[in-house]
Amino acid sequence: MTAEYPDAIFDPRTKENKSGVVYDAGKKTVGFAEDLTKLDEEVVAIQTALGTDDKWNFGTIWEWLQSISTLLAAHKTQHQNGGTDELSVAGLSGELADGQIPKAHDLGGTEHGADSLINLNLKISDANVDDDGDPRDPNAHKVSHQNGGTDELSVAGLSGELADNQPPKGHHATHAFGESDALSDGDIGVVHAIAIQIDGGGAVIETGIKADILVPFKCTIEGAYLLADQSGSIVIDIWKDTYANYPPTDADSITDSTPPTITTATKSADVALTDWTQSITANDTLRFNVDSVTTIERATLILRVRKTE
């Protein structure tokens, strides 16, 4: 009887105990059918795991064994540069497979012992040597790769970032008004002026409400400036509320205790805006109230604002 494996999985005969024999694991000197059956099952299980093969020509067993070769191939990377078990050149014998760049090798002089440029019989043209017959510095070589050079390199042929910032070509046009990527005043923080003029008609300005305006854009107040027609004093408060709640009242003051003020002068400027409510929402309304005044007959209040959207 010849072996079936590896052409086929072993197919054992069915084995039975003689009539009346009962398997007893404690009887080690007695052979039972169960012992042989278990051995048959183990053989079948192993052969099934390995698989059959057609004369070992890359069948299932070969593929399984091939994994061992893969593991061995991966193992060598541990010894390569940067590996967990890296080998140094000093620990190897023979010649390197690839040519290596020499370290600290004198490339400048002609006198280099047995390995001099002269002994290597290199032909150096007059254009590449100086008056003493020494090779010229090759730094000028890079010029051939510059813009307009004989061997010009394009930016497309390089990787990384350019050393110097480059001016965009035509790109800015897309940000112009009405274009595909138009910028709004808020995108670039455009500064605007909100101004009112209060005129007493040839007489000293009277106290009270003098003007109402609506601000159609979102902005931040950055400064308040007052100009008068003559030296005097004036205090102008500013009240703010939403369009839905118009008109604003004194309770809506945004200037706290530092409203725009001229004191015995012709002008004033306030960029600190201490304790002011500086934010204005689109379509907020502003009301201007003269709290007190002396001498001044005409005054102009200018609010410097920066659009935020």
Give 251-282 pLDDT, tens digit per residue.
999 999 999 999 999 999 999 999 999 999 99
Residue 92: phi and psi, rounded to 5, are -120, 160
CB 205 within 8 A of CB 299: yes
- Name the percent of the chain in helix, strand, coil, to the closest 5: 20, 25, 55
CA distance 215 to 309: 13
User: Average pLDDT for residues 123-147, to the nearest whole number?
Assistant: 66
Residue 258: count other Cβ atoms within 10 Å of its Cβ.
13
Structure tokens, 33: 């059918």
Model pTM score: 0.46
pLDDT classification of 120: cutoffs 50, 70, 90:
very low
Higher pLDDT, 7 or 196: 196
Per-residue pLDDT tens digits for 211-259: 999 999 999 999 999 999 999 999 999 999 999 999 999 999 999 999 9
Q: How many CB atoms lie within 10 A of CB 52?
A: 15
Domain ranges of the chain: 109-153, 191-307
The fold adopted by the segment(s) 191-307 is Jelly Rolls (2.60.120)
Q: Is the pLDDT of residue 309 over 90?
A: no
- Mean pLDDT, the chain, rounded, equals 81
Quick one: pLDDT band at residue 173, thresholds 50, 70, 90? confident
